[in-house]
Structure 1
Amino acid sequence: MVYLTRIEHFNAAHKLFNPAWTEAQNEQVFGKCANKNWHGHNYELYITVKGEPDPDTGFVYDVKKLSEIIKDHIIEKLDHRNLNEDVDFMKGKLCSTENLAIAIWNELGPHLPEGVLLHCIKLYETPRIYVEYFG
């Protein structure tokens, strides 16, 4: 099994806010991240797929095609967007980095060809904070 990682970048705004809580509860738990005027991040997205190299090309998957799939189904939907309001696959979800990584996995997986499997979504919210999701 060989693992192949493609790194992409996007900028997006969000706020952490649980609508079932009071404003005071949200502020206590989420602090500045519950700001009613939103806040943004410069996200780094690592998509790792796995599979066996094709005997004719030596590739697990053509990285140009992988990049196109990621851009078409993920980056175009996230870049310079409000995650809480503009992103269809985040509707009704708390916009934490953890939930975003899971949603990216669910959105991307069906678009990969047979024999190419998602292994990991690693999503950096800041240079010091990231999550990993393995499905």
Structure 2
Amino acid sequence: MLLLTKKTRFCCSHTLRKKEWNDQKNFEVFGQCSNLHGHNYILEVTVRGDINDESGMIINLNTVGKIVNEKIVNVIDHTNLNTDIPAFTDRVPTLENMVMVFWDWLEQALPPGTLAKLTLYETENNKIEYTKE
């Protein structure tokens, strides 16, 4: 079993706040991130599989790139996640929630069983990794 990773970048803004909480409670929980701000994200999409004898590849990285662009980058790049993306209308766009939403979007588009791991960097110091194992 081999693992192959495609890296992509996108920018978007968000506010970490719960609608049912007042400003004070949101600030207590989320700090400065309860205000509108943005990030330059890096997303690593890792697929798994065996080498196809005919092509010599697990999957064509161009195919992975097209799927990532279609399902994630073209949808959220330069948006406000809270107001522009229905998946985050009633969900706080934390790293945790973002990576799980992205997993759902990609798992439906990639060949069955190939999505192995997502790594989402919010900053050079903050990242999350997600697998279903």
Q: What secondary structure sits across from 1:99 in the alignment?
A: helix
The match for 2:4 is 4
Is residue 128 of structure 1 aligned with residue 125 of structure 2?
yes
The match for 1:96 is 94
Poorly superposed stretches of 4+, deviation over 6 Å: none
The match for 1:26 is 26
Deviation at 1:3, TM superposition (A): 0.4
Structure 1 residues without counterparts, runs of 5 or longer = none
Identity among equivalent pairs (%): 33
Q: What secondary structure sits across from 1:19 in the alignment?
A: coil
Q: How big is the alpha-carbon RMSD for the aligned residues of Structure 1 and Structure 2?
A: 1.0
Structure 2 residues without counterparts, runs of 5 or longer = none
Q: What secondary structure sits across from 1:56 in the alignment?
A: coil
One-letter code aligned to 2:125? R
Is residue 53 of structure 1 aligned with residue 51 of structure 2?
yes
Distance of 1:19 and 1:91 partners within structure 2? 10
Pairs within 5 Å for 1:57-68: 57-68=55-66
Q: What secondary structure sits across from 2:75 in the alignment?
A: helix
Deviation at 1:91, TM superposition (A): 2.9
- Count of equivalent residues: 132
Distance of 2:88 and 2:114 partners within structure 1? 23
